[in-house]
Amino acid sequence: MRVGPSQDEIRRQNLGALLRYVHVHGATTRAELTTALGLNRSTIGALTADLAAAGLVTEGAPKETGRAGRPSLVVRPESDRVFAYAYSIEVDRLRAARVGLGGAVIDRRELDRPRGLTAAEAAPLLAGAVKEMRQALPEDALCVGAGVAVCGMVRRDDGLVRLGPTTGWVDEPIGTALGTELGVDVPVTVGNVADVAAFAEHARGAAAGCDNVIYLYGDVGVGAGIIAAGRRLTGHGGYSGEVGHMVVVRDGARCECGNRGCWETEIGEHGLLRAAGRSDARGREAMLAVFDAADRGDARAQIAVRQAGDWLGFGVANLVNIFNPEMVIFGGTMRDLYLAAAAQVRSRLNSNGLPACLEHVRLRTPKLGEDAPLVGAAELAFDRLLADPLDVS
Ligand SMILES: [Zn+2]
């Protein structure tokens, strides 16, 4: 006979739900928690007391409301004390941050990344940045885990980077390498940068409250983080969302994945620079220089930007027809391309998108900006804590 959840399981679920609410929404009154979680006042009081005893939240008087009557106590996440380390391994830079419970980036370091750097070389650099940040930690600080956003295909089970076409990584165990370098007894969770950024924008950014979202992230290549029915779409092994490798031109330009005519060969770094007659240049700055030149009237740059914008709209129309998202977010260099060629993107989307799928789709830039990969990497680490707060703390 199957029995329902035990009292203890229900309590743990409720603790997780309450902590998740204040993690996402910040300081919240007990009255609001009662309504939002559908629990009675005494249960909210008991759960808050348990979380406060574990050092995960504090409770205090609200700021003056001006309203009559006894004010409801406010529950706040312990953002200074409870934190996760977040790393973002990008094509041209490495970033490390300490992100507090509640999602604020408290401390950060950034390093240039020479193209061709291996995981074994990147890990000690990131660990060095963390050692610096550790010096500023409060004495009773609690690290609940570490998350990594990396541009590449990441195996969900163990965070092995199977392929990073733009970094040259093949089967690089970055999570293990970082765990060893850090020498801390916390789990390291690895995710693809587009998936991780989508997670962050969905949790607390432009897509908060949206259940069907596509986040397109570009650097040299292009990938998508896809949220469907409120859940991250990861695929069987964790490799879904490699939209940059949709083949759009038969026998087109050579892609770094080894194929020809992939979408990113038209909208990524190489495609834009090739079209602008600047094949020798590379990097984000070189792409920005093309947008800038187009803005100042350089005819060749304008053609390149319009062409790439048209290709961007072409692929987005296909994605919109397949996934029926309510929002498409353009991050990384896709943000710059979208802003430089919004008219072409919209025009192509309107011609190729199915009317029913276009009805409610909104095009947006990230609210969290360049912090999305870091905030999302931290969310990967916080997920364990939020699933069972007392077990982790
Ligand atoms: Zn490809």
Q: What is the mean pLDDT of residues 27-49?
A: 94
Q: Which CATH superfamily hosts domain 82-197+372-387?
A: ATPase, nucleotide binding domain (3.30.420.40)
Q: Cβ-count burial of 193 within 10 angstroms (0-12 exposed, 13-18 middle, 19+ buried)?
A: buried
Residue 257 CA, ligand 1 centroid: distance in Å = 4
Task: Name the band, by pLDDT with cuts 50, 70 and 90, for residue 2.
Answer: low
**Pick from 191, 184, 101, 108: which is nearest to 149 by CA?**
191
Of 160-164, 294-298, 301-305, 323-327, the one with minimum mean pLDDT is 160-164
Among 89-103, 180-194, 202-216, 255-269, which is the least confidently predicted range? 180-194
What is the CATH T-level fold of the domain 7-77, as seen in this structure?
Arc Repressor Mutant, subunit A (1.10.10)
The CATH homologous superfamily for domain 210-364 is ATPase, nucleotide binding domain (3.30.420.40)
CA 264 to centroid of ligand 1, rounded, Å? 7
**266 Cα to the center of ligand 1, angstroms:** 11
Residue 162 alpha carbon to ligand 1 centre in Å: 15
Cross-strand pairs, 225: 215
CA 140 to each of CA 15, 78, 161, 339: distance values in angstroms, whole numbers, following the listed order: 22, 11, 34, 45
Query: CA-to-CA distance for 191 and 149, rounded, in angstroms?
Result: 5
How far is residue 271 from each of residues 212, 236, 263, 266, 339, measured CA to CA in Å? 29, 30, 9, 4, 17
109: amino acid identity, one letter = R
Compute the distance from residue 271 Cα to the ligand 1 centre, in Å.
12
Per-domain residue ranges of the chain:
7-77, 82-197+372-387, 210-364
Instruction: Tell me the CA–centroid distance for residue 99 and ligand 1, in Å.
Output: 34
Confidence of residue 166 (pLDDT cuts 50, 70, 90): low
- Which pLDDT belongs to residue 71? 72
Q: From CA 138, how far away is CA 51, in angstroms rounded?
A: 19
Tell how far the Cα of 221 is from the centroid of ligand 1, in angstroms.
8
Cα(246) to centroid(ligand 1), Å = 7
CB 239 within 8 A of CB 225: no
Is the whole-model pTM more than 0.85? yes
Among candidate residues 372, 388, 392, 380, the one with its CA nearest the CA of residue 10: 388
* 315 or 152, greater pLDDT: 315
Spell out the residues 6+ positions from residue 33 whose beta carbon is closer than 8 angstroms to its own: 18, 21, 22, 39, 44, 48, 75
CA of 250 to the centre of ligand 1 (A): 12
Query: Band of the pLDDT at 386, cuts 50, 70, 90?
Result: very high
Tell me the CA–centroid distance for residue 245 and ligand 1, in Å.
Answer: 4
Q: Calculate how far, in angstroms, residue 76's C-alpha sits from the geometric centre of ligand 1.
A: 46
Residue pair 343/308 in contact (Cβ under 8 Å)? The answer is no
Q: Compute the distance from residue 164 Cα to the ligand 1 centre, in Å.
A: 11
How confident is the model at residue 67, as a pLDDT?
61
User: Distance between CA 62 and CA 76 in Å, rounded?
Assistant: 10
Ligand 1 center from residue 392 Cα (angstroms) = 40
* Distance between Cα 91 and ligand 1 center (Å): 16
Give the lowest-confidence range in 87-91, 103-107, 273-277. Answer: 87-91
Q: In what order do the strands lie in the sheet with 142-150?
A: 105-112, 93-100, 82-89, 142-150, 188-192
Q: How many whole angstroms from 325 Cα to the centroid of ligand 1?
A: 24
- pLDDT at res. 64: 62
Please state the φ and ψ torsions of residue 83, each to the nearest 5 degrees: -150, 170
82-197+372-387 and 210-364 have identical folds: yes
